[in-house]
Structure 1
Amino acid sequence: MAAPRGWLGTVEAEGISGRQGSSGVEVVFPSDPATPAPLCPHGPTLLFVKVNQGKEETRRFYACSACRDRKDCNFFQWEDEKLSGARLAAREAHNQKCQPPLSRTQCVERYAARHQFQPTFHRFFLPLLLYTVLFRRYVKFIELSLSQRKFCQGCQQLLLPDDWEKHQEHRVVGDISITQLKRPSQLLYPLENKKTNAQYLFTDRSCQFLVDLLSTLGFTRVLCVGTPRLHELIRLKASGEKKSNIKSLLLDIDFRYSQFYMEDSFCHYNMFNHHFFDGKAALEVCRTFLQEDKGEGVIMVTDPPFGGLVEPLAVTFKKLIAMWKEGQSQDNSQKELPIFWIFPYFFEFRIRQFFPSFCMLDYQHFHRTFICVDEAMKYGCMLEVDYDNHALYKHGKTGRKQSPVRIFTNIPPNKIILPSEEGYRFCPLCQRYVSLENQHCEHCNSCTSKGSVPGHQDHDLGQRQILNQLSHPDAPKFTLCEDGRKWNHCFLCKKCVKPSWIHCSICSHCALPDHSCGAPKDGCFICGELDHKRSTCPKIATSKKVNKAVRKQKQRKSNKMKMGTTKGQSMNHTSVTRKKSRRERAHQYLCS
């Protein structure tokens, strides 16, 4: 999983700080998909709009789908902005300049130019050339002796002897073993994020749990979307002594994996806009993988960045599901592509809005390796810190060790067995495995506790702000949960709430004891209800009509003011011209 994203520059910062003042930034999916979105170095951009409670929508704008921080990708364009040909050409040149030096397309172009292939030839045989170029380079590297296998840490590139001279002033590591080549996520530095300088990857323990679970469920193919370490472990098991029959395909935005994997096991991919950077060839690789054996035995496992917006992710996953369904017969049209979506539990409501068949498993022992870029660059080695033991996320003597990350899946929960040795039991009423602390509520008829997250008490503002950085406006205001204890049932709210919450008669709902009753609610910006967001409000059509009428009225008023100003300026100009003419005639009369 990539590092948590920041926000869309100044506009987004206002959205976050304004969330407490009932404002935010939303993604807009145009009703006319035929109109293509402008491109940035990360593929098609997304259309955003800033919304405020009780106010009309502001001007829409396009921004990067992958980077929430304008320092990482500064693309910005108003929706109705008309660009000149020169600006479009400059943008295209910039996008080409920002492409990674290790992209397969560039490798093919260099190979074709070196061998004087015609453009039509290497475009037609693109998949074969991709395999040939990268396979030859990777095989040459493996055939080198251990002392000759070198890796440039500055350029993050495997070096052949012909490359040594160009990198002699860089920090180069030698003696790269075959084992290291099979675990590229441990060899590569994490991509630097300007806000956090960190990247989060699954620990081996979490990956092992997933592999064992997938094997128990009988899956033979795994589409790994943003889960490089899971992909590595699956491939290691497939090539080990006790060979596994599970295959995997990695879709990830980190282009550097292309030098370690062939095109049949890795696609450079942006999960926020369903963009394959290597074009149709990569798209067909993914399609073939999903539709193999008529789509039987395949599952998608995805671990998006915590700062990723749920809506574009859901749209992308539905496109992958549609791709899988293309290989299904009409008899299986009701079947669903099995999915494991690994995400924080406080996004449950948003995820189930887009995927009603999903349920949240109670497994709480997902841990990530926290990798510090600054320290890694300083010492020239990978410094991996367990997510739970990092200074920002440490627990202390009274802290909790469960993770806020859960598995959301459309697989029936009674088929997923959680390990009893880690503190899980089967609830016969819910027909699923839950943690020992999660007690069944007879009023809700469910085991309602969400478990715990790293941190101290609910009023620990510092920890709350840290975890809020991993969230976005789609999420409710996040507060730290109790230590996995049973939630209390509130008969007024008709649901179970956190043990530290109490019912407020002024707000008419449960909240923290020290909450501000006058603070704006995180409900719908149009009607104020708490059970849905603005994008799904039943009154949104009426609101748009009112906003359109208000905008037209403002436009007419603005046009009148402009016409009045222009008319006044014209009259003033005529008056000045007449006075000037009189002075000139008087001057001529006196001179004569």
Structure 2
Amino acid sequence: MFDSKSDKLLIQAEEEDAAGGEQHPRCEHGPTVLFYRQSQLPRQGYYACSAHRDSKLCNFHLPADQWNGQGPGTEPEEREYPSLPGNGSNPALSDPTLSLTALSQDKVNAQYFFDEAALNFLAEQCRVLGVTKVVCMGAPRLHFHLRHKLQSFLLDLDERFAGYLGPGEFCLYNMCNNHFFYNRRPFEKFLDCSNSEHLLIVTDPPFGCRTELISHTLRSLRRLHNRINQLPSTPLSIFWIYPYYSANHIKQEMPEMDMCDYRINYTNHLRYTNVGRQSRFCGSPVRMFTNVPLRLLRLPLEEGYKYCQDCDCYTAKENLHCSRCGTCPSVNGQTYRHCDHCDTCVKPNYVHCPSCRRCTQREGHTCSFYQSKQHCWLCGEKGHIESNCSKFRNSKLKRTKDKGCLICGKHNHRERRCNHRRKYFRELHFMGETSIQCL
């Protein structure tokens, strides 16, 4: 597949087109995804498997210009739910994830199971929020932890769980394209809620999944829930478990999602835990992203969290509130510090580079390369810093020396927070994105 940094990704829509045909061809894992480069038209790309990024696992490959709505890649028949002895019949069923061999394909179905603390944390948030139903999407251990406390339904790509759960609790499912391999009517029945019931989706995708695909699936499930319950466009509570370094990707797809500071640990991953010699020095990088207001969540004080009165939410003890930024800025478990030159909080090991007008890593820093990855604080575009901004040079604002703020010349702030900014720039905010125009 194309490199994710340069690819454009067209998502398979849930609905069929007006003629009733499929919009994308299908492989054995459901609807495929159309890949094409930024410099190409969609018809110059190709269709490939949504679940498997490795062609050795699924070698479906069809040039886009060869797809006409029929022919190769037609939809497979819906599978029958396996008739296995005793599935779903044991009310005292133990957790099979404690004995099953975890799947280990990192790019599609790697299984990393929550530890006991994470399970208790997620269950406690359900109690605090008054959740009565949970859809566990790719989170089997959580399902078995919750199923005796409240109603839970497991959507997972591991068919082995059909040997332990009946169709009222499990459906074989591809979260990358919202594809149900079994009859989905039992799941739709689960989504049918009374006025007193509150539904939550908890998803723990493989970290190699594209955020575009997962967000598309979450929006599709929300539409399905609203249609079944005859609701208008109503938000559906979501817990998305993912590394903190993917925050910008998630925010770009779903601007309503905020990151909770709680660190999710796994029992069978050396790096995503706070125990063992190979664990990260700041603990697991895995967090919970949610559209639930953070002030409603309760992080356990005994595990190293505190309540920040200024932010009105719980955060890590190491995450000190910055009155200048007006937030608790740390995302990785370190205590950030405010840099007066950058006018923002940065990692404690970063040093300020006058050439880049940013704090950067001490080693391996090349100014030209680093600046090509930055967003300009003047025009907002990526690829340059403020002193190299063509829009700035062509605007009415004429400043040639890089001393302090380029707009007003003062040293106690940078261009992002300058009181004179509105004289020269107009900012438009829509759906979590900002466009900047020079006046």
Superposed displacement of residue 441, structure 1:
0.8
Counterpart for residue 367 of structure 2: 517
Q: How many percent of aligned residue pairs carry the same amino acid? A: 34
Q: 1:195 to 1:527 in 2, by over 3 A?
A: closer
Deviation at 1:504, TM superposition (A): 2.6
Q: What root-mean-square deviation, in Å, do the aligned CA atoms of Structure 1 and Structure 2 show?
A: 3.6
- Equivalences for residues 58-97 of structure 1 within 5 A: 59-81=44-66, 88=72
What is residue 299 of structure 1 aligned with on the other side?
200
Report the Cα distance in structure 2 between the residues aligned to 1:504 and 1:259, rounded to whole angstroms: 58
1:394 correspondence with 2:278: yes
- Residue 19 of structure 2 corresponds to residue 44 of structure 1: no
After superposition, the C-alpha distances for 1:296-315 in whole angstroms (9 at most, x for unaligned) are 32111111111111111111
Residue 141 of structure 1 deviates from its aligned partner by 9.8
Q: Following the alignment from structure 1 to structure 2, what is the Cα–Cα distance between the partners of residues 80 and 434?
A: 51
User: 2:202, 2:239 within 8 Å by CA — same for their partners in 1?
Assistant: yes
Counterpart Cα distance in 1 of 2:196 and 2:214: 22
| Number of residue equivalences | 378
Is the radius of gyration larger for structure 1 or structure 2? 1
How much has 1:413 moved relative to structure 2?
1.4
Given that residues 11 and 216 in structure 2 are in contact (C-alpha distance below 8 angstroms), is that contact kept between their aligned partners in structure 1?
A: no
Asked whether the equivalents of residues 295 and 324 of structure 1 are also in contact (C-alpha less than 8 Å), the reply is: no
Match of 1:367 in 2: 265
Corresponding residue to 2:10 among 25, 28, 47? 28
Q: How far apart in 1 are the matches of 2:98 and 2:138?
A: 15
Secondary structure, aligned partner of 2:262: coil
Deviation by residue 1:397-450 (Cα, 9 ceiling, x = unmatched): xx5252111111122212211111111111111000111111111111000011
Change (3 A) 1:450 1:139: closer
Task: Quote the offset at 1:273 in angstroms.
Answer: 0.6
Kept in 1, the 8 Å contact 2:25–2:67? The answer is no
Q: 2:241 aligns with which of 326, 332, 342?
A: 342
Query: In the superposition, relative to structure 1, how do residues 44 and 215 fare at CA in structure 2: closer, same or farther (>3 Å)?
Result: same
Shift of 1:215: 1.8
Structure 1 residues 446, 530: CA separation in 2 closer, same or farther (over 3 Å shift)?
Answer: farther
2:175 maps to 1:274: no
Other-structure match for 1:586: none
Would the alpha carbon gap of residues 493 and 334 (structure 1) be closer, same or farther in structure 2, given more than 3 Å must change? Answer: farther
Aligned-partner SS, 1:105: coil
| Cα contact 1:72–1:194 (8 A) shared by 2 | no
Q: 2:216 aligns with which of 267, 291, 315?
A: 315
Alignment map for 1:486-497 (pairs within 5 Å): 487-497=336-346
Q: Name the CA shift for 1:82/1:276 in 2 (closer, same or farther; >3 Å).
A: closer
Q: Distance in 1 between matches of 2:250 and 2:27?
A: 27
For CA contacts below 8 A with separation 6 or more, give which structure has more relative contact order: 1
Counterpart Cα distance in 1 of 2:54 and 2:118: 29
Query: Given the superposition, is the C-alpha separation of residues 507 and 49 from structure 1 closer, same or farther in structure 2, using an over 3 Å criterion?
Result: farther
Partners of 1:198 and 1:370 within 8 A in 2: no
Partner of 1:262 in structure 2?
Answer: 166
CA distance in 2, matches of 1:197, 1:224: 15
- Aligned ranges for residues 195-214 of structure 1 at < 5 Å? 199-214=111-126
Displacement after TM superposition at 1:538 (Å) = 7.2
8 Å contact from structure 2 (residues 25, 69) kept in 1: no
Q: 2:99 aligns with which of 168, 184, 187?
A: 187
Counterpart mapping for 1:74-473 below 5 A: 74-81=59-66, 88=72, 105=80, 107=82, 133-134=83-84, 137-138=85-86, 182-193=94-105, 199-235=111-147, 238=148, 244=149, 246-278=150-182, 281-282=183-184, 284-294=185-195, 296-328=197-229, 333=232, 335-364=234-263, 366-370=264-268, 387-388=272-273, 394-395=278-279, 400=281, 402-452=283-333
Structure 1: runs of 5+ lacking an equivalent: 1-7, 17-22, 108-132, 143-177, 239-243, 372-384, 453-483, 540-592
Aligned to 2:408: none
State the SS of the aligned residue for 2:240. strand
For 1:49, give the aligned amino acid. Answer: Y
Mapped contact 1:369–1:386 kept (Cα < 8 A):
no
Counterpart of 1:462 in structure 2 is: none
Give the corresponding residue for 1:566.
Answer: none
TM-score using structure 2 length:
0.75
Give 1:39 shift. Answer: 0.6
CA distance 1:191–1:83, change in 2 (3 Å): farther
Q: Measure the CA separation in 2 of the matches of 1:308 and 1:57.
A: 24
For the 8 Å contact 1:438–1:451, the answer to whether it is kept is no
Measured against aligned partners, the alpha-carbon deviations of 1:191-215 in whole angstroms (never above 9, x if no partner) come to 3428899631212331122112212
Give the TM-score of the pair, scaled to structure 1: 0.57
TM-superposed deviation, 1:344:
0.9
